[in-house]
Amino acid sequence: MALNEELLNKFTQNERGDLYFAGKLLLQLDTTAPEKVTNLEAVEITPSSIKVSFTPSISEDVEFYEVYYTLPADGPIETINTADSVVEFTGLQELTSYEVYVVAVDTSGNRSSTTYYDFVTPPANTEQAPVVSRAYIDNRMASDSFEIFFNFRNFFLAETIDVYFNDELVSTINGSSGTYYHGIPADRGYYTVKAVAKNQYGEATRSITGYWDY
């Protein structure tokens, strides 16, 4: 009789009715995934570390957040399970692309969809001309107006970025990233956008070519 009571005492249920035996899940009644986290962003990036923050899941039964970082198209390098919404990873390499992922996990083990953030670590040497080896320019078009605009990112150490459209200076961006809104080009055909990043030590250039046909 005592043995039967001892075995029965090993069966437990949580408030949703999930059945456990000796702490191991036997029957899961809750199969609803929690809502994912939002607003994942970098609080601070150095050549060897990143600190990220996010808005917690709105689901009330979240037990922890699985936060990990990877190289692009690779497996997790380090994973941190935490209840905090600010996480820091160290041991990174300068001028390297990384990705950070966050998954909310509830008390029944259900996992949310993934929230993702990508970044490039800056150079360790700050006393040099702008570093544009990992810089990029992407061209976008507004869906409602067909106006085109360009995002400039990872122009490390740049104090300003001069933007040229078909060799004409059209804008100067302060800092190492920003956006230039061009509008609708006057003519169809190929165009070139050049970015000249500058600081007290010198300058560096990146450019892209596109085609306008609307």
How far does Cα 105 stand from its chain's mean position? 19
Distance CA 163, CA 161 (A): 6
Range of the domain at 21: 1-30
Q: How confident is the model at residue 3 (pLDDT cuts 50, 70, 90)?
A: low
Interval 149-185: pLDDT, tens:
999 999 999 999 999 999 999 999 999 999 999 998 8
Interval 62-84: pLDDT, tens:
999 999 999 988 888 999 999 99
Distance CA 36, CA 214 (A): 38
pLDDT at 12: 80
Residue 52 and residue 113 in one domain = yes
* Overall pTM surpassing 0.85 (yes/no): no
pLDDT at 45: 96
Domain count, the chain: 3
On whether residue 91 sits in a domain, the answer given is: yes
- Torsion-angle region of 91 (φ positive above 0: left; ψ -120 to 50: alpha; else: beta): left
Distance CA 109, CA 194 (A): 50
Residue 140 and residue 206 in one domain = yes
Number of neighbouring beta carbons within 10 Å of residue 68: 19
Q: Which of 67, 87, 120 is the last residue of a domain?
A: 120
* Closest-CA residue to 108 (of 35, 20, 11, 21): 20
Beta carbons within 8 Å of 186's beta carbon, 6+ residues apart: none
Residue 49 and residue 115 in one domain = yes
On whether residue 26 sits in a domain, the answer given is: yes
On whether residue 193 sits in a domain, the answer given is: yes
Interval 88-124: pLDDT, tens:
999 999 999 999 999 999 988 899 999 999 999 999 9
Residue 110 and residue 156 in one domain = no
Residue 70 and residue 142 in one domain = no
On whether residue 113 sits in a domain, the answer given is: yes
* Closest-CA residue to 78 (of 46, 107, 58, 49): 49
